[in-house]
Homo-oligomer: A and B are copies of this chain.
Amino acid sequence: MVLTIYAPLFASSKRAVVTLIEKGLEFETVNVDLLKGEQRNPEYIAIQPFGKIPVLVDGDYKIFESRAIMRYIAEKYRSQGPDLLGKTVEERGQVEQWLDVEATSYHPPLLALTLNIVFAPLMGLVADEKVIKESEEKLGEVLDVYEAQLSKNEYLAGDFVSLADLAHLPFTEYLVGPIGKANMIKDRKHVSAWWDKISNRPAWKEVSEKFALPI
């Protein structure tokens, strides 16, 4: 069955892409250029009605939302590659907990930083300095909790790598790169060690090489 992922160059999609590569799966890609607004084309809306990325097509099955795609891949191909969901119901609970922390606490301020610092200048928009300041504060508070958690466990959900860790990769790459706030990671000893470990995984290196940031 052919696996096809839409918009692999953009950060949200890379949550799905890195999961496919961790699992050793072959896949095809279809580019969708957000900077040109292609996600609002009628052909794309027919595939993803919210006009968001990514979408995974697996034969005649279709799924969207990056973290849902991660879970689907990790569950369907559970027996190959690392088990990214934990081994027990309790471990999976912790994976789900930190996946949701990423989605609801870590990602929103980091997305605001990405849009205001990286994308606004590209699109001729003025960055909102108040939003930047508030987002950096919020993200810092979240990272303080991560620092405590990662002082007790090697990875977020425990002593095993999981989807919860991988979900952080794409936008944290913006944070330590074009956003220019690598110190938020580096100044926290356990967060920094965790970041080094997950961002040096072969699967993520392959994502970074094959699907460079679009800007």
**Chain A contact residues, CB within 8 Å of chain B:** 49-50, 52, 61, 63-68, 71-72, 75-76, 89-90, 92-94, 96-97, 99-101, 103-105, 142, 145, 148-149
Contacts and interface: CB of A to CB of B under 8 A. Distances in A.
17 contacts: A49-B145, A50-B145, A52-B105, A63-B94, A63-B96, A65-B97, A65-B100, A65-B101, A67-B100, A68-B93, A68-B96, A68-B97, A68-B99, A68-B100, A72-B96, A76-B89, A103-B104
A92 B78 CA distance: 14
Nearest to A45: B145
A50 B149 CA distance: 11
Given A68-B96, A103-B104, 10 more contacts: A49-B148, A50-B101, A50-B145, A61-B93, A63-B97, A65-B104, A71-B92, A71-B96, A72-B89, A103-B103
B105 A93 contact: no
A5 to B, nearest CB: 14
